[in-house]
Amino acid sequence: MTNRPPVASCFTSLHLLGAALLGVIAWVHFKDIPDKLKETDYLGWAYILLVAGCAAAGAWLLSSHPRRGYVLGSVISLGATIGYVLTRTTGLPHATDDIGNWVELSGIVALVAEGAFLILSAVALRPARTPETVQVSPPFPNDH
Give the model confidence (pLDDT) of 31-51 as tens digits: 999 999 999 999 999 999 999
Identity (one letter) of the amino acid at 73? G
- How far apart CA 61 and CA 70 sit, in angstroms, is 7
List pLDDT tens digits, range 55-112.
Answer: 999 999 999 899 999 999 999 999 999 999 999 999 999 988 889 889 999 999 999 9
Phi-psi region of 91 (alpha: psi -120 to 50; beta: other; left: phi over 0): left
